[in-house]
Amino acid sequence: MALTSATQRLVAQFEYTDENVNIGVKEFLRQIDEGLHKSGTSMSQIPTYVTAVPNGTEKGLYLAVDLGGTNLRVCSVRLNGDNTFSLTYNKSPIPKLLMVAKSSQELFKFIAEHIAVFIKEHHYDHYEHHIRRRETMSSPEGFRDEHIFRLGFTFSFPVQQVGINKGFLIRWTKGFDIPDAIGKDVCALLQEEIDRLHLPVKVAALVNDTVGTLMARSYTSPGKTGALLGAIFGTGTNGAYIEKLSNIKKDMEGEYDTSTGEMVINTEWGSFDNQLNVLPTTTYDIKLDQESVNPGIQMFEKRVSGMFLGEILRIVLVSLLQDESIPLFHDDNSSHNDWKSTTSIAAQSGMFKKWGLDSAIMSVAALDNTPDLGTLRLELDSQLDVYSPSLEDAHAFKAIAAAIARRAARLSAVAVGAIVLQSGKLTDPAFAGEPIDVGVDGSLVEHYPHFRTMMYEALKAIDGIGEAGAERIRIGIAKDGSGVGAALIALVAASMEKKRPTTIEWLAQMRSEASLKTLKEVDSAVEQEAEETAA
């Protein structure tokens, strides 16, 4: 009984009502607008200089690197020009040590090394061709060749972008903490390490994963208009959407094309309401934040994304375990337990370690609807060293996990709903009856059961959206969005490299890329050209 009532009390604390949803949306709209007017706001509203979305006819072979919160993916993407693409990729977990290393060079070196392995494994022809060319030093025409891969770099952290392949890191998120990278151009940091390995790769475009997702969704889902929003609900959360240029009131440093009258804005909504004007806040949220590497920042993300949900649940469960009047994962004798053995939790259980409860088990809990919750109970045993959990334990775990996930899904709907309202598409006669397309990606939305259904329930409750509006919002998975989107932006970047370098420029560029051995040849070529020009 004590466990049941404690569970009910906790579940109630995570309730996020329709009224809360509406209050959240109003504040979200206010903070969207604030971020469009000035810099330094909690939601950064970063202009990306991307002013159009693809229409599916784009073609070519591009390389993409996706540095997410958990994994590094190196991919090559072949865009077929008919709304389809094929993708080859290698995926490796990012070593925890590199996420908090002293210097970011180790992280960028790790990325460059993985690019090298990928190219040698999947595109040996490019690699070999490049090596041959470096050895023979052929003509400018030859150097300017297609064998240099254009790489789209998906860097899923807040970056002040000043050009298509230039952007300065604003802050780390998702547990990364490498202070020396703050304020640096992350493309240059990567290019340096690529050059150190003499790879035939140019970092051509810098892309946030949400922007990539928006691009990929527009490429693959043909419609009268492209997608409105690309969003990630994975280790972290964020969204990028199409905004009218006339609504962007703050200064933009970089150059951009004004012909579409629109620009993609990276909202960085993970930091929506850092000031906690409206975000729901339990004592468990407070504890999680205080113990994080970035207290007071990414407050929305800390209630929504996969990295944090497991940790909130762990903190809640530890509070129950500390209360001796509540029999969680504990019974005095086997007669209390339908499995006829005494329940206990091992001292070394992940439950007692920060980040020790992987959010994935929450999906297992939600999926297990068997009368004895057998799958979940086995998982509690194997993942969390809970020996012989009782049915009551499993029920408590399932209910609390569901409440935390449901709050996350409804908060996600606040973000999506606010962007839909901001676009004005629901009431614009030009879009009457048209679907409003939202591309989503990330482990949470992909694997947590009914995450989208819970989002839709909340969307229906939003004033100005309602049932009819929610029906027009088409939330679809944009699988591999960030890789494909990065390739698409690398394509745009490649087409912007219109200006062909003069021979002198070519040689200067070659010099900066050449090894010591070839430098001599560069020098003599420069001398020769100077002599020829003088003659």
Is 173 a binder of ligand BGC (CB under 6 A)? Answer: yes
Region from 20-28, 234-242, 324-332, 374-382 binding ligand BGC, contact rule CB under 6 A: 234-242
* Interface with ligand BGC in residues 276-305 (CB under 6 A): 301
Would you state the structure tokens that stand for residue 23, as one six-digit string?
């209050």
Structure tokens at 150: 């254009």
238 contacts ligand BGC (rule: CB under 6 A): yes
**Part in contact with ligand BGC (CB under 6 A); list of ranges 152-160, 352-360, 455-463, 470-478:** 152-160
Note the Cα 85 to chain centre separation in Å. Answer: 21
Q: Identify the residue among 232, 288, 361, 404 touching ligand BGC (CB under 6 A).
A: 232
Exactly one of 27, 193, 243, 268 binds ligand BGC (CB under 6 A); that residue is 268
Choose which of 174, 302, 377, 398 interacts with ligand BGC (CB under 6 A): 174
Residue whose CB is less far from ligand BGC, 43 or 426: 43
In the region spanning residues 318 to 347, those forming contacts with ligand BGC, defined by CB under 6 A, are none
CB of 220 to ligand BGC, least distance (A): 20
Active-site residue, from 42, 76, 156, 423: 156
Interatomic CA distance for residues 54 and 84, integer angstroms: 12
Q: How many angstroms separate the first and last alpha carbons of the chain?
A: 98
The contact mask relative to ligand BGC for 29-68 (x = CB under 6 A, - = no) is ---------------------------------------x
- Please confirm, yes or no, whether 246 is among the known catalytic residues: no
CB nearest ligand BGC: which residue?
236
Closest CA to 411 of 311, 316, 303: 303
Q: Which of 167, 226, 236, 483 binds ligand BGC (CB under 6 A)?
A: 236
Sign of CA dihedral 447, 450, 456, 458: negative
Contact 192, 223 (CB under 8 A): no
Stretch that binds ligand BGC, among 9-17, 92-100, 125-133, 155-163 (CB under 6 A): 155-163
Please say whether the beta carbons of 232 and 442 come within 8 A: yes
DSSP of 378-399? HHHHHHH-EES--HHHHHHHHH
Task: Check 73, 134, 150, 171 and give the catalytic one.
Answer: 171
CB of 68 to ligand BGC, least distance (A): 6
Burial status of residue 487 (CB atoms within 10 A of its CB: 0-12, 13-18, 19 or more)? buried
Name the segment binding ligand BGC (CB under 6 A); options: 151-159, 180-188, 194-202, 245-253: 151-159
Query: Could you tell me which residues are beta bridge partners of residue 195?
Result: none
> By C-beta, is 76 or 210 nearer to ligand BGC?
210
CB closer to ligand BGC, 68 vs 200 = 68
Closest to 425 in 3D by CA, of 438, 410, 411, 412: 438
Closest to ligand BGC by CB, 42 or 208: 208
Q: Which is nearer to ligand BGC, 75 or 320 (CB)?
A: 75
The tokens describing 334, both together, are 């086997």
Pair of tokens at residue 113: 């090394």
Nearest-angstrom CA–CA distance, 114 and 92: 9
Using the minimum distance from each CB to ligand BGC, give the nearer residue, 68 or 469. 68
Whose tokens are 């449901």? That residue is 406
Within 13 A of 530's CA, how many CA atoms are on the CB side? 7
Beta bridge partners of 243: 263
CB of residue 422 to ligand BGC, shortest distance in Å = 18
Query: What's the min distance (Å) between Cβ of 474 and ligand BGC?
Result: 21
Structure tokens at 497: 């490299």
Residue 191 or 238 having the CB closest to ligand BGC: 238
Q: Which amino acid is at 159?
A: V
Residue of 66, 209, 285, 385 marked catalytic: 209
Tell me if residue 156 is catalytic: yes
Do 444 and 305 meet the contact criterion of CB atoms below 8 Å apart?
Answer: yes
Name the one range near ligand BGC by CB under 6 A: 150-158, 179-187, 193-201, 423-431.
150-158
- Is 69 an interacting residue with respect to ligand BGC (CB under 6 A)? yes
Q: How big is the site for ligand BGC, counted in residues (CB under 6 A)?
A: 18
289 is catalytic: no
DSSP 186: H
Q: Do the Cβ atoms of 472 and 426 come closer than 8 Å?
A: yes
Residue 158 interacts with ligand BGC (CB under 6 A): yes or no: yes
Residue 273 interacts with ligand BGC (CB under 6 A): yes or no: no
Task: Of 419, 373, 416, give the one whose Cα is nearest residue 396.
Answer: 373
Contacts to ligand BGC from residues 203-222, by CB under 6 A: 208-210
What interhelical angle do 451-460 and 391-423 show, nearest 10? 50
| The pair of three-digit structure tokens given for residue 369, joined into one six-digit string | 């609807």
Catalytic residues: 156, 171, 209
Which positions lie near ligand BGC, rule CB under 6 A?
A: 68-69, 156-158, 173-174, 208-210, 232, 234, 236-238, 268, 270, 301
